[in-house]
Each structure stands twice: as C-alpha cells, then as structure tokens.
Amino acid sequence: MLMDDQESQLVLVDFQSRLMPAIFEGEQVLANAQRLAEAAHLFEIPTFGTEQNPDKLGQNPQAMRELCRRTLAKMSFSACEEGLIDVLRPNPRPQGGNARSLPKHLQKAVPQSSPKRETIVIAGVEAHICLLQTALDLLQDEFQVFVVTDACGSRTERNRDAAFDRLAGAGAELVTTEMVLFEWLRSADADPFHEIQALIK
C-alpha cells in the first residue's frame, strides 16, 4: 500500500538540541527529518512535533518547530500517553442550538467532516525508546504507521536496528525519506515536483 498525502500526518519525535549530538549519524537523521517537515508543508500535511522533558533536553530546532502545527512537551516516553492521539484524531465539534426545531429553510447545512488521516509517518529519536513506544501505541490504536528509518536514530546503531526489527514485527512499515516524498508526490508532473526534487538534492 502506497502512502497518500491526503491520508497522512507527520509526527517528529524529540529532535532536541541536547540529544542530537549523541545520536549515531545524528546530522543526517536531523537533515532527513527536516526534509520530511518541509515536504509535508508543501503538501499541506498536518505535522506535529514532540519534545521529551524540554527543560533538560532542549527544544526541537526552530525551523522544524515552525513547520509543526503543535509541539507537545512530554515526560512519558510514548507521546500517546500525553495527548498525541487526541491531536491526531480531534473530536468533531458539537453543533450548538436546536437546529431541528427550526423550519428547514432556516436550518444550517451540516458541515462535511474533513477526511480521516489514519496514516502516520513518524520519525525521531531515540528509535528504541520514545520513537518505539509512540509507534507501538499508534499501532495499538489502529493507525497505519510508516517509520522513516533514515530519519530515526539512537545513540548506538544496535539499539536503532533492534527498534526497527521490533517495529516491523509489530506491523509498522519501514520506509526511507525518499520513499515517503515520492509516494506523496506520485507523479513527475505533480505540482510540487520541482520543490521536492530540490529538497532531495
């Protein structure tokens, strides 16, 4: 199954200033996460960030925060424990008033609900802790989860790879940044093709 930009949301987990220098291949991991955020902005895909104990570990880069609709501060390792599910699946607002008591010509049309976005593209650090626990909780909540492997990291390669093995076994799809961008794009004559091409170069 291909990722669809109309059904996707992007979650960026804990790319924090005091954590990234300790991450294996951290510079490349962060660069790919920023590419994902910029591409999501081009496609108008909702993007959310998380920050683990930001008072101690610092914030995500400002350029990334600016592309997120919201950045959740958390203490739990899984962002789902601290409200991420509610952000990804907001409850529809109840209609006010007793519209049914009005004559039909005075009743307001019921707004169509926006399409559900049940595909979560997720990247982050550390892969074997916060990223893993968040992704497993998303799977348990019946989201389709795509883990962007080249935008995930841990302090050690072994921990990172163990996280990928466990996530694949739990039902997550393992993908790369370029796979995500070109599946969102689908065609060389799609509108943001040149901008996406520039992000990759």
Strand partners, 152: 124
Q: What is the mean pLDDT of residues 35-45?
A: 97
User: What is the model's pTM?
Assistant: 0.88
Counting residues of the chain whose pLDDT is more than 70, the rounded percentage is: 88
CA distances from 31 to 36, 68, 111, 161, 180 (A): 9, 16, 39, 19, 15
Q: Which fold has domain 5-87+116-200?
A: Rossmann fold (3.40.50)
pLDDT exceeds cutoff 70 at 109: no
Tell me: the pLDDT tens digits for 122-139? Answer: 999 999 999 999 999 999
Q: What is the pLDDT of residue 110?
A: 47
The two beta strands, 119-125 and 144-153, are: parallel
User: What pLDDT score was predicted for residue 9?
Assistant: 98
What secondary structure letter does DSSP report for 110?
P
Q: Decide if 124 contacts 130 (C-beta within 8 A).
A: yes
Read off the pLDDT of residues 46-81 as tens digits, 9 standing for 90 and up: 999 999 999 999 999 999 999 999 999 999 999 999
pLDDT digits (tens, 9 = 90+) for 146-197: 999 999 999 999 999 999 999 999 999 999 999 999 999 998 888 889 899 8
Q: Which spans in the chain are helix H?
A: 26-43, 54-57, 62-65, 84-88, 132-140, 157-170, 177-185, 193-200
Residue type, 7: E
Q: What was the pLDDT predicted at 114?
A: 59
Judged by average pLDDT, the poorest of 87-96, 101-110, 150-159, 160-169 is: 101-110
